Structure 1
């Protein structure tokens, strides 16, 4: 499958994944999914032929980057899969993986919601490959950053290439895809994402503002703000984006609410919820959706 994917998207592996993901503790009796050689979840791509930079009318969509750089340590960063949460994650992934029938999983949500971190965890435990759509767009235009694409070419150019990337990925199987925050505003993108299973990572805006303020917003073209308190300005910008996107996020087939997870775990603050716990909840909600 992976060879087909690489051939279709003209992708080549970036580095051996043994240097990226830790080897499990064999004494735990983990499944062969954890014992097989790790495949790279971040792939270098040359999309010049199959996903060419495209131009078109300006879309109404808004762009954000999706990685949360200050997320708590996850199962991918630990030396062994030893915690109770890791075992729950492994068990749930083994239960749900056959039911997916190879369908892709698309993670949607506001910037800073942790889609990249959660996506990497889900891809690893399900034996899927991981893609960050923003990174693919950057590579398709010669490695230009999202911020520079907005500055040099405008948002419409970015949105057109985002749609083309999602179109190509929708023809594949066994992928977890982290999408940009604004991918949801174009109906055509939902057509592609609904070929798989779309999962909305729902994080309160104040928590997002805290996280984004802590890591900085220089790489996020839609969060540039004037002088003043950084948190207040970031929350204000996020609130405006939410007004535009909230209805679109409701198109997701699965919703993963951090407030709900925090309540279940007895946490008073959603910031106490770690990526492994979010990944577990995502698998539970996906399983419930598949049972409908």
Structure 2
């Protein structure tokens, strides 16, 4: 793990991401109905987003190449009106975020990386996919790593990202299970991208999914839901589709979801 830590550190040093001044605490957003300590946000000077090779949707790993994008146009160019609305909302919200990072949690195959990239571009933030960092740092050895080793490696990544500001981080689906990980996630705003199991299954299977896939996906979501629910903000894809009068969840676009993320963060901030 020491070798992994060193490699992750080398990757992050190359990005020149700003860090939180040690004399200040980051702003912590508390979800409605959850009593959590809140502290003042540290002021961070604005600047252009220096996108690195990690500022793109994940293209390697266990789910790459086997699942369709969950949102329409996830890899394409967003409609101009969606892009304009997203940028406007980001400009309005940025002063209230004061550089606080955003951590996206949720099941795999929920396009967290794609949504995160749109968020980072709109806010002028850096984007990282925590599991992509693990894979890049581990190199070919990642193929030999067992699940616990991958989880431990992601914990190392989150630890090294936590002192940084102006980040959007897409996390692995199991990141929320570790209490230690939550200590790092709490340095920013956590957002659960809540996608129903039926829609997740559709992204994996082009035709009728096998019963075991349906059962496994439902069981996994039930097991993880209680952890995801600890996020500061929950973005329900079903509720967003209903709000937009969209029957097919696949018709939602990543910019729509990113805009809804910012709207929900704004709503929670106003309640805090």
TM-score tier (shorter): 0.7 to 0.9
Whether the 8 Å contact between 1:66 and 1:180 is mirrored in structure 2 is no
1:172–1:7 CA distance, 2 compared to 1 (3 A): farther
1:10 correspondence with 2:7? no
Residue 210 of structure 1 aligns with which residue? 202
Give distance in 2, aligned partners of 1:180 and 1:161. Answer: 11
Give distance in 1, aligned partners of 2:123 and 2:52. Answer: 12
Q: Which of the residues 34, 37, 42 maps onto 2:53?
A: 42
1:127 correspondence with 2:124? yes
3-state SS in 1 of match to 2:72: coil
1:120–1:192 CA distance, 2 compared to 1 (3 A): same
Give distance in 1, aligned partners of 2:64 and 2:227. Answer: 17
Q: Which of the residues 79, 84, 87 maps onto 2:81?
A: 84
1:92–1:231 CA distance, 2 compared to 1 (3 A): farther
Whether the 8 Å contact between 2:49 and 2:125 is mirrored in structure 1 is no
Q: Which has the larger displacement, 246-255 or 81-90? A: 81-90
Residue 31 of structure 1 aligns with which residue? none
Give distance in 2, aligned partners of 1:153 and 1:185. Answer: 19
Q: Which of the residues 239, 257, 260 maps onto 2:236?
A: 257
Whether the 8 Å contact between 1:66 and 1:178 is mirrored in structure 2 is no
Superimposed CA distance per residue, residues 89-139 of structure 1 (whole angstroms, 9 cap, x where no aligned partner): 111010011111111100001111110100000000000010000111112
Q: Which of the residues 175, 192, 196 maps onto 1:183?
A: 175
1:86 Cα offset (Å): 1.6
1:156 correspondence with 2:148? yes
**TM-score, normalising length from structure 1?**
0.70
1:125–1:143 CA distance, 2 compared to 1 (3 A): farther
Give distance in 2, aligned partners of 1:83 and 1:66. Answer: 28
3-state SS in 2 of match to 1:77: coil
Uncovered stretches (5+) of structure 2, i.e. residues with no partner: 1-7, 17-46, 56-60
Whether the 8 Å contact between 2:190 and 2:233 is mirrored in structure 1 is yes
Whether the 8 Å contact between 1:66 and 1:179 is mirrored in structure 2 is no
1:273 correspondence with 2:270? no
Give distance in 2, aligned partners of 1:172 and 1:96. Answer: 19
Uncovered stretches (5+) of structure 1, i.e. residues with no partner: 14-35, 45-62, 216-228
How large is the Cα RMSD of the aligned pairs? 2.9
Whether the 8 Å contact between 2:130 and 2:154 is mirrored in structure 1 is yes
Bigger relative CO (Cα 8 Å, ≥ 6 apart): 2
